[in-house]
């Protein structure tokens, strides 16, 4: 019997732990500067806008639009062999046009993906205790 190989699990660093904790609660949290209120992704200690070290985690709507995407046709990891072709997308969140996540689109055929298509977050269990944010078309 063939051994099942999974994609690697995310390894939360100190700055991103709140993001992953939120995903496990089915909440999409984004880091925001407490001073200038600018959202930022990837999370980091200092605001690139105003250099403040004050930050907070804010629950966002989970709605956005497809900014870009590609279809992976050649597996680059053993876990991808049975999944190709699959998509990797950039989703621009509604809260800020510069807030863009790299993710996968689910609930849609790859050939039906369109630029600026409205999408919403869903959380899929990657392994027990680890959920990943993915996006599906808004119905």
pLDDT higher than threshold 90 for residue 22: yes
One DSSP character per residue, 7-34 reads: PPPP---GGGHHHHHHHHTT--EEEEET
For the chain, the domains span 14-137
82-129 pLDDT, tens digit per residue, is 889 999 999 999 999 999 999 999 999 999 999 999 999 999 998 888
pTM comes to 0.91
- Alpha-carbon distance of 122 to 27, in angstroms, equals 9
């Amino acid at each position: 019997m063939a051994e099942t190989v999974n994609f690697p699990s995310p390894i939360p660093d100190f700055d991103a732990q709140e993001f992953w904790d939120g995903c496990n609660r089915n909440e999409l949290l984004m880091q925001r500067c407490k001073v200038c209120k600018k959202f930022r992704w990837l999370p980091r200690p200092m605001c690139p806008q105003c250099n403040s070290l004050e930050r907070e985690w804010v629950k966002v709507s989970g709605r956005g639009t497809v900014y870009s995407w590609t279809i992976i046709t050649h597996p680059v990891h053993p876990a991808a062999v049975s999944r190709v072709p699959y998509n990797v997308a950039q989703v621009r969140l509604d809260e800020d046009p510069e807030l863009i996540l790299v993710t996968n689109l689910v609930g849609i055929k790859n050939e039906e993906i369109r630029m600026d298509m409205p999408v919403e977050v869903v959380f899929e269990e990657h392994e027990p205790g680890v959920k990943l944010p993915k996006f599906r078309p808004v119905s």
